[in-house]
Amino acid sequence: MVNLIPSPESVVQILQKTNAYRHGHFVSQNGRHSSHYFKVPMTFHFSDNARILAVGLSRKFRMDKITASHLPRIAVVSPSADGIPVAFSIRDALSGEQIYWATRESGKRQFPQYIENFNINPCIVVDDIVRSGSTLQETHRLLTNLGAKVVGFGAIVKFETAPKEIEGIEIKSLVEFDSPIYNTLEEWQAAENSDAPAEQIVEF
């Protein structure tokens, strides 16, 4: 039987090939430092890569009895702009009926007001990466307040700093990654033993 879930090593290779994962010295606008930078949506510009990753993650959802019991009457939800291409690909792979995404305005995450008029199917919340889990937790609260039921969480990349589950629901991912973030240049240099030039980015 063909294994539809790619190995973590092959996922990293795909991300590297599409420049969606880079190694170096990166500094965010708030002055924090890291040796790793992810921009997963870049991979989803290429249909073959998008299909491999989406089918792999969707397969993990299909293997979950609770999530699978709601298919195809599910809503795939993205909590962020970078998660939107992932959400559309997962929706297609699962033949899901609905898709929604949240936006941030004035620092506040929210769904469009018109969503209140819909009967929202049981939700699978997917993002490109999960670092602390706070975005998924916030999205869970928003959906619950709308009367929706969340039955799954997932991301292409999950950092080791993220929780294993939220509200008793496992966060599924294709690769787990250890990516420390340092508050100062001195901390980064001491830990990484490197003097690589810094590249400015918006955020990790």
Give the pLDDT of residue 1: 41
Which is more confidently placed, 136 or 199? 136
As a whole number, mean pLDDT of residues 135-162 equals 95
As a whole number, mean pLDDT of residues 114-125 equals 90
As a whole number, mean pLDDT of residues 9-37 equals 93
Which is more confidently placed, 74 or 106? 74
As a whole number, mean pLDDT of residues 46-61 equals 96
Domain boundaries, the chain: 8-200
Instruction: Inform me whether the pLDDT recorded for 2 exceeds 80.
Output: no
As a whole number, mean pLDDT of residues 164-182 equals 94
Cα gap 157→145, rounded to integer Å: 27
Least confident of 103-117, 144-158, 174-188: 103-117
Tokens read off for 187: 């901390």
Which is more confidently placed, 15 or 105? 15
The predicted model scores a pTM of 0.91
Cα gap 37→204, rounded to integer Å: 7
Q: Who's near 186: CB < 8 A, 6+ residues apart?
A: none
As a whole number, mean pLDDT of residues 158-175 equals 95
Cα gap 53→202, rounded to integer Å: 25
Q: Which helix (H) or strand (E) holds 134?
A: helix 134-145
Cα gap 158→184, rounded to integer Å: 24
Share of residues in the chain with pLDDT > 90 (%)? 79
Name the fold adopted by 8-200.
Rossmann fold (3.40.50)
Task: Tell me the sheet residues that pair with 155.
Answer: 127, 173
